[in-house]
């Protein structure tokens, strides 16, 4: 009985996938012929290969391929509980580590995008560190609110170092910016550290304050940027999107405008952020923004405020716990702008190309979903 049922389910699943890929093909061919002039057959061939065997697809670009300067990978939002309570999130994190380790050639480094732990517990953070230590290339760590609000970053700093830092790599200036500070909402309410953590960990809890880099962080950023020439490409890693998307869920950085002001004088700025667990694309003047996938679970798109350049990912299938999750990689070009690859575990990978953002969404358009968010 069961195997037959399973088989039918699988057939249905395959049929749906087939349908989806057909739709993607239809949508793309137009842009494709118009824009890229590449062979549609290449794309077609790619879509029929099971997605698991993909590394990173070539990008549909408006211009003839310019070889990227280098590639780094990312893993984000693992939200680990201790293994005894929840194995699913642990396994997802391990899967991402395995996938990144299988990249050939290997990426120059891996960015971890924050929310390593679910409730900031020392054991959760230690487990996370142990899992990430399996990576074969260096890891750049970023902190998320789930890592921070139990002990205000004490354990995280002990394990991973300062929350704000910068480094240079192949001519690009990278900045890791702690953007999930909150104004004190706990003291006057007499909350325990755990109550504070649980309040912040609940996305739709309106008691908490809004995320911000804060005065100290902005001062640190100002000093860091002062050392960099205006035509050095800048890539910033932040946990929250460094703009204002949806306030009630803290898909938001309260002092975003002040930070944009500091970044406008630079020739090329890219922000890669976590926290939103979804495919997100935005541009403000010279600043390109890209979201990261979570390994743990996808967030739904917010009811309003979605940046216009975002082509949303299709709504995840609740019956497939890996759908809507994954990891990704970033190809950095000579000018600092990037092709952002989303390696979705249960779908074809999606690339949001530099050309898409540079053309304000007119060229190299990523595939649109057949079933958009409700």
Partner 1 sequence: MRMTKLLITMAGIVGLALVATSLERRTAGAQQPQTSGGSDRLVVQLCDGETKLEIAEARAGEILPPEKAREVARRMMAAYAEQQAKQVSKWTARDRLTWEREQKRVIEEGYKLFHDWKALGGTIGISCDMCHPDAAATHPETYPKFQTQLKRVAALRDMINWCIENPMKGKPLSPDDPRMIALEAYITSERKGVPLDPGKH
Q: Taking CB within 5 to 8 Å according to partner kind, which of partner 1, Fe ion, none is near residue 297?
A: partner 1
Q: Which residue in 326, 325, 324, 333 sits closest to 357, CA to CA? A: 333
Q: Which residue in 192, 292, 181, 287 sits closest to 234, CA to CA? A: 287
Angle at 313 between CA 291 and CA 243, to 5 degrees: 30
> Does residue 3 interact with partner 1 by CB under 8 A?
no
CB of 204 to partner 1, least distance (A): 4
Q: Which stretch binds partner 1 (CB under 8 A): 165-173, 183-191, 300-308, 346-354?
A: 300-308
Q: Taking CB within 5 to 8 Å according to partner kind, which of partner 1, Fe ion, none is near residue 77?
A: Fe ion
Q: Quick check: 212 and 255 in contact, CB under 8 A?
A: yes
Residue 106 DSSP label: P
What span, in angstroms and rounded, lies between the C-alpha atoms of 316 and 299?
A: 9
What x-and-dash track marks residues 34-73 binding partner 1 by CB under 8 A?
A: ----------------------------------------
> Does residue 11 interact with partner 1 by CB under 8 A?
no
> Does residue 144 interact with Fe ion by CB under 5 A?
yes
Binding test (CB under 8 A) with partner 1, winner from 21, 43, 74, 81: 81
Nearer to partner 1, 123 or 315 (CB): 315
Backbone angles phi, psi at 111, to 5 degrees: -95, 130
* CB atoms near residue 308 (< 10 Å): 9
Is the alpha carbon torsion for 342, 157, 241, 69 positive or negative?
A: negative
Angle at 295 between CA 293 and CA 297, to 5 degrees: 85
> Does residue 303 interact with partner 1 by CB under 8 A?
yes
Binding site for Fe ion (CB under 5 A): 77, 115, 144-145, 275
Binding site for partner 1 (CB under 8 A): 8-9, 12, 16, 81, 85-88, 118, 202-204, 248-249, 297-300, 302-303, 315, 317-319, 321, 371, 373-374
């Amino acid at each position: 009985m069961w195997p037959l049922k399973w088989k039918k389910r699988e057939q249905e699943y395959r049929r749906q996938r087939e349908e989806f890929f057909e739709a993607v093909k239809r949508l793309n061919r137009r842009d494709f012929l118009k824009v890229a002039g590449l062979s549609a057959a290449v794309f077609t061939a790619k879509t029929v290969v099971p997605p698991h065997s993909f590394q990173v697809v070539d990008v549909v670009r408006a211009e003839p391929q310019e070889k990227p300067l280098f590639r780094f990978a990312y893993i984000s939002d693992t939200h680990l509980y201790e293994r005894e309570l929840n194995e699913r999130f642990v396994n997802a994190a391990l899967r991402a580590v395995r996938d990144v380790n299988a990249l050939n050639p290997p990426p120059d480094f891996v960015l971890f995008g924050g929310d390593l732990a679910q409730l900031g517990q020392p054991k959760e953070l230690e487990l996370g560190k142990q899992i990430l230590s399996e990576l074969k290339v260096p890891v750049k760590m970023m902190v998320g609110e789930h890592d921070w609000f139990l002990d205000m970053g004490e354990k995280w700093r002990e394990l991973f170092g300062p929350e704000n830092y910068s480094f240079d790599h192949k001519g690009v200036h990278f900045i890791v910016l702690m953007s999930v500070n909150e104004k004190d909402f706990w003291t006057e309410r007499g909350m325990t550290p755990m109550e504070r953590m649980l309040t912040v960990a609940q996305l739709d809890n309106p008691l908490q304050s809004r995320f911000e880099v804060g005065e100290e962080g902005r001062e640190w950023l100002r000093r860091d940027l002062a050392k960099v020439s205006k035509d050095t490409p800048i890539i910033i890693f932040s946990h929250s999107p460094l703009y204002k998307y949806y306030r009630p869920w803290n898909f938001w950085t309260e002092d975003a405008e002040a930070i944009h002001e500091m970044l406008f004088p630079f020739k090329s700025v890219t922000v890669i952020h976590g926290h939103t667990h979804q495919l997100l694309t935005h541009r403000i003047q010279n600043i390109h923004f890209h979201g990261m996938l979570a390994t743990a679970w996808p967030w739904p798109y917010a009811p309003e405020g979605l940046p216009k350049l975002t082509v949303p990912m299709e709504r995840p299938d609740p019956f497939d716990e890996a759908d809507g999750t994954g990891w990704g990689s970033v190809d950095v070009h000579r000018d600092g702008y990037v092709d952002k690859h989303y390696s979705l575990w249960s779908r074809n990978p999606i690339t949001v190309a530099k050309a898409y953002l540079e053309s304000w969404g007119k060229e190299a358009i990523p595939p649109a979903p057949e079933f958009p968010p409700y």
